[in-house]
Chains A and B, each alone.
Chain A
């Protein structure tokens, strides 16, 4: 709380989302704007939909800050988080949603495909959390939601790199949750199953039908449904929940 604020006028909560211009991250940005947060988000190369996000922010009377930052680049992420905090005044919620896939059987997987997925998905999560956690400690609390995947829980053929990165995120977050609870910070994981985004658009019809057959609810989830779970875990309504993995997967885990 800044000196100008009084207990009667609490600061507008601020959420920062990595990979916020597309897919699940984009839906999370929209959810937070609708929920009354000011939002910072980063994208790797193209600020897709930046105008639409600006329009939404205006519609909800919120401030939004978007910038390019490759989450695999520690310095770039740190600079983005610093800029977002400076622009938006505080940091209450961090959501790490930036992620890539480079699927192939391990027998033919290149070292580059292994490293790029681990660098973006796992090290990128470390980079963002590393930059956010100290300010949250000093601020007296916060909430972190890291995006994993059911691939990281159960494994998935041709996704050994992706699954390893997403399983790593679960172990990372469970450890972080135990470490920062004393500072009023919660850390949780959302593990989506098959979600209709441009990341899954590339699936062939056969692969899609096979994947759908394994889902008890019989359909792919939407990015908005994942965003709802993220928003819940980020909020005070989940105040006694930390170190958990919430699967949004249509029942695959049952």
Chain B
């Protein structure tokens, strides 16, 4: 379980997502497509969302699932959530 934080750091996020996906950090490039490149199916995307919600203590809705598609898009999503939190 990732440690809770409200500080968003791209490398920490990469590490966290690599842990959830059980892949090497290097595979989680900024723009790697989760679905196409990392075999992330809809349930795994949900797992990522729930883990990030807890780690960054933000609230995400079902509509945010479609933004769980690459490291950068997740980073942007979290950045927006943390600004409004």
A residues sitting closer than 8 Å to B (CB atoms) are 134, 137-138, 140, 179, 182-183
Q: Which residue of chain B has its CB nearest to the CB of A139? A: B50
Which residues on the B side are within 8 Å of A182 (C-beta)? 43, 47
* Per-residue interface assignment for chain B, residues 45 to 58, with 1 indicating a CB less than 8 Å from any chain A CB and 0 otherwise: 01100100100000
Query: Taking the complex as formed, is B36 at the interface, i.e. its CB lies under 8 A from any CB of chain A?
Result: no
Cross-interface CB contact of A179 among B43, B50, B53, cutoff 8 Å: B43
| Bound-state Cα–Cα, A182 to B51, Å | 12
Mind listing 5 A-B residue pairs with CB under 8 Å? A138-B50, A140-B50, A182-B43, A183-B47, A183-B50
Query: Taking the complex as formed, is B62 at the interface, i.e. its CB lies under 8 A from any CB of chain A?
Result: yes
B residues sitting closer than 8 Å to A (CB atoms) are 43, 46-47, 50, 53, 62
Which residues on the B side are within 8 Å of A138 (C-beta)? 50, 53
Q: Are the CB atoms of A134 and B47 closer together than 8 Å?
A: no
Q: Whole-angstrom distance from the CB of A215 to the nearest CB of chain B?
A: 41
| Bound-state Cα–Cα, A145 to B24, Å | 39
Q: Whole-angstrom distance from the CB of B46 to the nearest CB of chain A?
A: 6
| Bound-state Cα–Cα, A246 to B66, Å | 37
Q: Whole-angstrom distance from the CB of B1 to the nearest CB of chain A?
A: 10
| Bound-state Cα–Cα, A145 to B59, Å | 27
| Bound-state Cα–Cα, A205 to B46, Å | 53
| Bound-state Cα–Cα, A183 to B62, Å | 15
- 8 interchain residue pairs of minimum CB distance: A137-B50, A138-B50, A134-B62, A137-B46, A179-B43, A182-B47, A182-B43, A138-B53
Which residues on the A side are within 8 Å of B43 (C-beta)? 179, 182
Given A138-B50, A179-B43, A183-B46; 9 other pairs, CB 8 A cutoff? A134-B62, A137-B46, A137-B50, A138-B53, A140-B50, A182-B43, A182-B47, A183-B47, A183-B50
Q: Which residue of chain A has its CB nearest to the CB of B46? A: A137
| Bound-state Cα–Cα, A140 to B50, Å | 8
Which residues on the A side are within 8 Å of B47 (C-beta)? 182-183
| Bound-state Cα–Cα, A140 to B62, Å | 16
Q: Whole-angstrom distance from the CB of A134 to the nearest CB of chain B?
A: 6
Q: Which residue of chain A has its CB nearest to the CB of B59? A: A138
| Bound-state Cα–Cα, A140 to B54, Å | 10
Which residues on the B side are within 8 Å of A179 (C-beta)? 43
Q: Which residue of chain A has its CB nearest to the CB of B60? A: A138
Q: Whole-angstrom distance from the CB of A95 to the nearest CB of chain B?
A: 23
| Bound-state Cα–Cα, A183 to B53, Å | 14
| Bound-state Cα–Cα, A182 to B47, Å | 8
Q: Whole-angstrom distance from the CB of A139 to the nearest CB of chain B?
A: 10
| Bound-state Cα–Cα, A169 to B62, Å | 24
| Bound-state Cα–Cα, A179 to B46, Å | 11
Which residues on the B side are within 8 Å of A183 (C-beta)? 46-47, 50
| Bound-state Cα–Cα, A140 to B43, Å | 14
Q: Whole-angstrom distance from the CB of A174 to the nearest CB of chain B?
A: 16
Residue with the highest number of chain B CB atoms closer than 10 Å, among A134, A138, A140, A179:
A138
